[in-house]
Structure 1
Amino acid sequence: MSGTRARRPSRALVQGCLLLTLLAACTEGGTDSPSPTAGTQAPGPIIVASGLDVTGSGGVRQQLIAEWNRQHEDEPALRAQLVELPGGADQQRSQLLGALQSGSAAYDLVNLDVTWIPEFAEAGLIQALPGPDVEDPDVIPEVLSTTRWKSRTYALPFNTDVGLLYYREDLIEQSGINENRQPTGDWSWQNLYDSIATLGSAQPDGDEPEKGWTTQLAPYEGLTVNVMDAFAAVDVQLASADGRYTATPDTLKRGLKEFLTHVDDNRTLRPRALTSDEDATLDDFAQGRVAYMRNWPYAFGALQSRLAPEQYAVVPLPGRSVLGGQNLAVSAASPRSAAARELLAFLTGPRSERCLLDAGFAATRLSSYSSEKTGSPTCWEAVAEALRPGTATGDPAAREGSARIPSARERSEYIGSIRRALEEAVQRPRTPYYGAFTRALQSTVHGLLTEESPDLDAAAEQLDEALGEAFAGR
């Protein structure tokens, strides 16, 4: 495919133009690939800095950049290049902060974790997008709100993420659990506890899992997310929208009590879970050590290489889950900011979002979750071909996404679960001092998990003091 072919704008593309007004880049024809913006700028390529594309070296992010380049093969100034940063999320954040603060790397677009937007915006490292702050009805509202700080929009949602409840259908069936104990999209945490109790009492000798469920309790961001899931279940808020600390020892005690109930030793795979990240919990689930698991959407595709389709399924987590994901922002020091905004619009447009969903990421647009028969956009043809099973080079057990495409039935159920979970999801605290916040939370909570008889009053007082300092930037 070379260049952009003329076509009538679909409903999804018209909706996309509402968001593109932020970029002053939605052209009269309503195409996904706007014409170059007038003005002087440095020659290309447009450099996109991101964490490793965990769908592989030929994964979906690289394929989207390749599609952009195909559409602009005769426009050298608009060529793009993806630069992948090694290491985990904390290391990537440090690399991006150092590079943007020093000007040592000429990054034009940066792919930021949703929790980093206030920090990078407050430091003046990313540009506020031009134009009016408008709503795009095609973008999930809570996801879109992660792009804002102090009433200004600094990014556009690239891919989102949300916690899901995976369950082993085979283990549940052989335990004799009746139909009203099967997981559903409106389960409460008590429903999960009751099912785990039934599972433990009914399983045949020698075949039972070690424990009912597992989740990520190692002292890293996975632990923070699990705590925030529990806090959301009892409506504990830590901060206002502008980053002002609002919790008290009493509300923190309520949240901590709920969290310890979620991960009670009688139902959670402990002590293994205390050192587990996403991949470790996925392994325990695939090995049959547990019947239930909290994990992200990537796990659905990753499990396809380890379990038969009839062995597992997925529904939204009980209650409200915490959002993850990444947003794309234009570097404040970009010498190619006009071109970068055009690439930003392309990468976050309806067809690109559909590609991300096909690859195993959670898409940010509602239209991506609709049936193609109802007008849902399709992935770019060349990108879709590269993502078909057997053509992508990525590891299917990679953390954020998978290049595998499930069957029509599996895909429909999986997509439905993601959408329902996203529409009820909540954010982690919005603060320029997020790093200090999450370290303080992890330190206190992980200590509680290792105590035989935790003192919640003392822990709540300690956490209140630590979080007060963290949110104040001290």
Structure 2
Amino acid sequence: MGRARRRIAATAASLCLLALAPAACTGGGPGHAPQPTTSGGGEIVVASGLDVTGTDGVRQQLIQQWNSTPTGKQHPARLVELPGSADQQRSQLLGALQSGSSAYDVVNLDVTWVPEFAQAGLISPLDRRPGLDDADVIPSVAATARWKGHTYAAPFNSDVGLLYYRVDTLEDVGIDPSSYPGKATTWTQLQSLIRAVGEAPASDRPPGYQAGWTSQLDAYEGLTVNAVEAFESKDVRLTDADGRYTATTAGLRTGLTELKTRAGNDYTLPAALSSREAQSLSDFAAGRTDFLRHWPYAYGALFQTLDASQLAVAPLPGKAVLGGQDLAVSAGSPRARYALDLIAYLTRAESERCLLDAGFAATRKSAYTDPAVRCRLAPAAGPSVPTETHDMPRDPDGRPSYAAPILLPALTNAVQRPRTPYYGAFTQLLQSRLHDWLSNPDLTDPDQLADSLDTALAKILKGK
């Protein structure tokens, strides 16, 4: 019996606790909000989604460290984690900021929300604040914080699609995992590899093995991400940098065909069409599939139950989508001056190194490459990485071992989802139409869907 059959008995149950993740319009003009100058007293409140590094996670630890500094003692900060899905968190933030409430001074925005909040004048432009958009920030990541030529936020933690694969399963079916996947692997080569595993004797595969590949294809933001990755891999761009619709019916057909090859074939795990981050992570760890498209935090989560003889990670073939969150100052904050100081502290090189060590994707190049940049959390804040049975593999400087060779290039080469203040309407339309199409085995021809999407997207991206 292969090693994969002997090693997975308890994996699925333990991953259920590790796989939680947060994830993927109004009028007014960009730059409508004034530059932040007010300096009222009181607690600086930071609103954010769930920290995937767990209870008392690294974000909370960094805020605790800020509170121990001289400025932080005078102007302490408090982290408020918003409940619900990413869409629900967006609605909560929009409602609070549109009402003129000063409940939140700093908002941790998904990168796709920045144009919407900026266009509506709900966050303040930060063009004159030095250090928030400097050369150390990865250029593709820095671009997420800008809209219409202005900087509205500071990148806090980033994200990018990666390919995880089961080394033990490949070896058990007689495939050398050192040959590929790798940096030059194409999607076509990956498909061939997936099929080779599927054609191996069942006795060599893990018990419960179903299909070779899974991703997050439920009708939510994960499906939008997978679709954009498929489209961009075929050079199909839905918008320009200013959010204007640029696709054609022919381009949409090409992108839909590529998406179908990834999500609608026999090598795709059947559960993928109802999977989000947690389910796809659990399916992969349990051996039901060999290849997984997921985010960087999965590296640390998976290594809590697997080891380096079982698990490896590579760049995602084709184009990978950029994710992450950016910190912005609420336009109504009476504590904007100190909120800016807090943002500068949370996004400095040392803080980014702490985020990287804990499992996030850092936004600064120095966090990956400069040995002098270290995480020095205050003793009261605890360790930057929770103590677990297995820690992720690390390089000699203590970074996750894949960070410099794989994660940094992936972030540098990543593509963005459409930059538009109407992103909420855009993604809801795309999720609904694509999920219905992928879920219906009788719908294989993309022509009709391409025609209807072309009309609908052109309308929605004009705010109609």
Q: Structure 1 unaligned runs (5+)? A: 1-37, 397-402
For residues 109 and 68 of structure 1, do their structure 2 counterparts lie closer, same or farther at Cα, with a shift above 3 Å needed? same
* Percentage of pairs with the same residue: 52
Q: Is the 8 A contact 1:113 1:325 kept in 2?
A: yes
> 5 Å matches for 1:56-71?
56-71=54-69
> 5 Å matches for 1:55-204?
55-72=53-70, 75-76=73-74, 78-131=75-128, 136-178=134-176, 181-204=179-202
For residues 116 and 285 of structure 1, do their structure 2 counterparts lie closer, same or farther at Cα, with a shift above 3 Å needed? same
Aligned-partner Cα distance in 1 for 2:188–2:272: 20
Q: Partner of 2:213 in structure 1?
A: 213
Deviates more, 1:447-456 or 1:151-160: 447-456
Q: Structure 2 unaligned runs (5+)? A: 1-35
SS at structure 1 position matched to 2:401: helix
Aligned-partner Cα distance in 2 for 1:114–1:452: 34
Aligned-partner Cα distance in 2 for 1:150–1:282: 37
Aligned residues: 423
CA shift, 1:74, in A, is 7.6
> 5 Å matches for 1:362-373?
362-370=361-369, 372=371
Q: Partner of 1:358 in structure 2?
A: 357
Aligned-partner Cα distance in 1 for 2:44–2:167: 47
SS at structure 2 position matched to 1:408: coil
Q: 2:427 aligns with which of 414, 438, 457?
A: 438
SS at structure 2 position matched to 1:166: strand
Aligned-partner Cα distance in 1 for 2:72–2:400: 37
Q: Partner of 1:230 in structure 2?
A: 230
Q: 2:414 aligns with which of 400, 418, 425?
A: 425
Q: Is the 8 A contact 1:72 1:79 kept in 2?
A: no
Q: Partner of 1:292 in structure 2?
A: 291
For residues 188 and 384 of structure 1, do their structure 2 counterparts lie closer, same or farther at Cα, with a shift above 3 Å needed? farther
SS at structure 1 position matched to 2:309: helix
Q: Partner of 2:43 in structure 1?
A: 45
CA shift, 1:124, in A, is 0.4
Aligned-partner Cα distance in 2 for 1:163–1:53: 18
For residues 311 and 442 of structure 1, do their structure 2 counterparts lie closer, same or farther at Cα, with a shift above 3 Å needed? same
Amino acid at match of 1:104: S
Give the TM-score of the pair, scaled to structure 1: 0.85
CA shift, 1:383, in A, is 7.7
User: Which deviations, in whole Å up to 9, do the C-alpha atoms of 1:297-351 show, x marking residues without a partner?
Assistant: 1111111232233111101100220000000000000101111111111111100
Q: Is the 8 A contact 2:172 2:205 kept in 1?
A: no
User: Which deviations, in whole Å up to 9, do the C-alpha atoms of 1:144-202 show, x marking residues without a partner?
Assistant: 00101110000010000000000000000011114675311221101101111211222
Deviates more, 1:379-388 or 1:206-215: 379-388
SS at structure 2 position matched to 1:460: helix
User: Which deviations, in whole Å up to 9, do the C-alpha atoms of 1:383-416 show, x marking residues without a partner?
Assistant: 884224339xxxx9xxxxxx95544379223442
CA shift, 1:266, in A, is 1.5
Give the TM-score of the pair, scaled to structure 2: 0.86
Q: Is the 8 A contact 2:194 2:212 kept in 1?
A: yes
Q: Partner of 2:448 in structure 1?
A: 458
Q: Is the 8 A contact 2:299 2:392 kept in 1?
A: no
CA shift, 1:85, in A, is 1.0
Indicate whether 1:412 and 2:401 are aligned.
yes
Q: Is the 8 A contact 1:175 1:204 kept in 2?
A: no
Amino acid at match of 1:210: Q
SS at structure 2 position matched to 1:411: coil
For residues 246 and 73 of structure 1, do their structure 2 counterparts lie closer, same or farther at Cα, with a shift above 3 Å needed? closer
Q: Is the 8 A contact 1:140 1:366 kept in 2?
A: yes
Q: Partner of 1:239 in structure 2?
A: 239
Q: 1:449 aligns with which of 438, 445, 448?
A: 438
SS at structure 2 position matched to 1:94: helix
Amino acid at match of 1:461: D
Aligned-partner Cα distance in 1 for 2:308–2:139: 32
For residues 382 and 447 of structure 1, do their structure 2 counterparts lie closer, same or farther at Cα, with a shift above 3 Å needed? same
Aligned-partner Cα distance in 1 for 2:302–2:162: 14
CA shift, 1:57, in A, is 2.9
SS at structure 1 position matched to 2:383: helix
CA shift, 1:472, in A, is 1.2
> 5 Å matches for 1:256-271?
256-270=256-270
SS at structure 2 position matched to 1:310: coil
